[in-house]
Copies of this chain bind each other. A is one copy, B any other.
């Protein structure tokens, strides 16, 4: 409803400056990007791109959260990506979109017209390298998620999702990861189900169960407190050894 925060005028002021595809660009390169970029906002729930559509732009999520989903003919859907600020949308060199992209919260995108961006990338190794890095990170995340989808129980799936959201939230807000964590769920139960390959009923039941067992606490439907991250990560079936917490 209310207008999202105004777009940063200059790349120098951009909140995702140091994490996005432009992270390694120097001043000259930023100027080139500036020439082909524009900001665009989407309201929560609105589609950003439909699978199969011609991509007129690629770009970065500046603020808000978007999802990548695939849908089968009979309507079954699977989320295949969760896009947070600084994540990149679109594939250079490809004309059509491969997945549906939708805003789950209000979203601000920093868009680059596709053709100019592709040309710029051809002659700007800083951009290509950064995009490669980001793509490799996404591939790792996708593979992590394949383990979740293929082998974990419903309870472990929920715990895994909560732990990932907590982690990402910590890295975005720069509050850092601690034993006790508090955050808001950016997804509906249905979106969580689509992410996890479950039904929304199962999601709801497992969240209730985790609450009953004291693994999490809830205020309202979306505000989550994790009293003990180690406990949550054990529930997720992950290596509980210090990889994450200090």
Q: Please name 10 further chain A to chain B contacts, defined as beta carbons within 8 Å, in addition to the given A78-B146, A78-B147, A142-B142, sorted by A numbering.
A: A70-B147, A73-B237, A73-B239, A77-B151, A93-B133, A132-B135, A135-B135, A139-B142, A142-B143, A149-B150
* Bound complex: CA A144 to CA B125 (Å): 29
Instruction: Return chain B residues, CB-CB under 8 Å to A239.
Output: 73
How many monomers of this chain does the complex have? 2
Q: A72-B237, A151-B72, A197-B151 are in contact. Are A81 and B132 (CB under 8 A)?
A: no
Give the CA-CA distance A151 to B76 in the complex, in Å. Answer: 7
- Docked Cα-Cα span, A173 to B20, in Å, equals 40
Min CB–CB distance A138 → chain B (angstroms): 6
Q: Does A120 contact B (CB under 8 A)?
A: no
A117 in contact (CB, < 8 A): no
Residue of B nearest to A91 (CB): B136
The answer to the question of A161 belonging to the interface, with a C-beta cut-off of 8 Å to chain B, is no
Complex Cα distance, B209 from A172, in Å, reads 49
Residues of B within 8 A of A77 (CB): 151
Query: Which chain B residues lie closer than 8 Å to A229 at the CB level?
Result: none
